Amino acid sequence: MTSPDTPEEMPPPCVGVDLGATLAKLVIRAPGEDLRFEFLSAANLQTLEERISEIGPGRIGMTGCGASTLEARLGLRAQRCVEFEAWGRGSRTLLRGQNADADAPYLLVSLGTGTSILRVEGDAVARLGGTALGGGTLLGLGVALTGCRSHEELCHLAEEGDRARVDLRVSDIYREGEIALPGETTAASFGNLARWLSPDREEGNEAPSQPADLAAAVMGLVGENVALLCCGLAAATGVSQLVYGGGSLHHNPVLASIIEDVSAGLGQTPLFLENGSFAGAVGALEQGSEA
């Protein structure tokens, strides 16, 4: 029996892991502390193993495409969670933390390496669709077009760019009032560059874009198409609230602004999860804690 003067031993922390194609997201819950959120590279499993061993979790929940591989390497008994269910559960927890309505149906948009769109209502989670456009597209095209070597560098560069030097807008091809679309609407992503390549262009004209403009245009390509797809699915299913999360939005104000403008412009209510990259890990943490 513990004497009155001997402090009780604190239980070990619980950990939730969402191991995706690009990033490993960790959520740590220790007694008496707020949740802690950590990013690690999904490519370096040894570093991830060492970090989990350092934490010494009493319970661990895992989700994501790399969960089975990580569990085998760790040699720990983990609670494996279906990725979409973990995302749905974690998003509800994060929404409540923002004092947002987590009970009304909403579309949950996971902007990871690719993008998945889920309908969440209570405990029911169903995947409605998705697109291969996502963070992999952002970084892949960003590296190819600008030479950026990281997500953070690309996001910073995009803030300095002007998409109008790369994209073709409605106002570039129609006079005002000729068509029932706002002039700033994108008619063709990267279409302004295509026009510059025309054999009829004036000789000696320099390319209209700089690396920052290309970075901004990549954000526009992904953000506009993801938001348009989400709004179409929302309208078809009678859901008005779109909840966005995922690592692609981390420290990425340009992408978030594009998605917000398109979603709101099409009559939907966009909401961005705080710590939204970790929704799957939060759901895995909660399920693992109950095992």
Residuewise pLDDT in 10s, the chain (291 residues): 455 555 567 889 999 999 999 999 999 999 989 999 999 999 999 999 999 999 999 999 999 999 999 988 888 778 999 999 999 999 999 999 999 999 999 999 999 999 999 999 999 999 999 999 999 999 999 999 999 999 999 999 999 999 999 999 988 888 888 887 778 889 999 998 887 777 766 655 566 679 999 999 999 999 999 999 999 999 999 999 999 999 999 999 999 999 999 999 999 999 999 999 999 999 999 998 886
Q: Based on the fold, state whether residues 71 and 179 are members of the same structural domain.
A: no
Q: Of 155, 187, 207, which residue is a domain's last?
A: 207
Residue 276 carries which side chain, given as an amino acid letter? G
Same domain? 79 vs 159:
no
Looking at residue 1, its pLDDT comes to 46
Q: Sign of the CA dihedral 138, 89, 58, 64?
A: negative
Q: List, in order, residues 6 or more apart from 156 with CB less than 8 Å away.
A: none
Instruction: For residue 54, give the nearest of 82, 12, 110 by alpha carbon.
Output: 12
- Nearest CA to 249 out of 129, 128, 109, 140 is that of 109
- Phi and psi of 15, rounded to 5°? -130, 140
Global pTM exceeds 0.85: yes
Residue 118 pairs in a beta bridge with 108, 127
Q: Do 31 and 88 fall into the same domain?
A: yes
Q: Are residues 91 and 153 in the same domain?
A: no
Residue type (1 letter), 4: P
The residues facing 28 across adjacent strands are: 15, 36
State which of 184, 207, 230 marks the end of a domain: 207
Residue 20 belongs to domain spanning: 1-98+277-291
Per DSSP, what are the bridge partners of residue 108?
118, 243
Same domain, 148 and 175: no
Instruction: Give yes or no: residues 81 and 113 share one domain.
Output: no
pLDDT score at 206:
61
pLDDT at 187: 92
The 10 Å Cβ neighbour count of residue 80 is 17
41's enclosing H/E stretch is strand 36-41
* Catalytic residue, candidates 49, 54, 83, 176: 83
The radius of gyration computed from the CA coordinates of the chain, to the nearest angstrom, equals 22
Annotated catalytic residue 50: no
Is residue 129 within 8 A of residue 107, CB to CB? The reply is: no
Question: CB–CB of 276/93 below 8 Å?
Answer: no
d(CA 8, CA 260): 49
Q: Are residues 248 and 144 in the same domain?
A: yes
Q: What is the DSSP letter of 177?
A: T
241-245 and 269-272 strand pairing: parallel
**Predicted pLDDT of residue 214:** 96
Domain count, the chain: 3
Same domain, 153 and 227: yes
Domain identity same for 203 and 213:
no
Same-domain pairing of 265 and 137: yes
Say yes or no: 126 and 239 in one domain: yes
The CATH number for 10's domain is: 3.30.420.40
The helix-helix angle for 45-55 and 67-74 (nearest 10°) equals 60
Mark whether 133 and 196 lie in a shared domain.
Answer: no
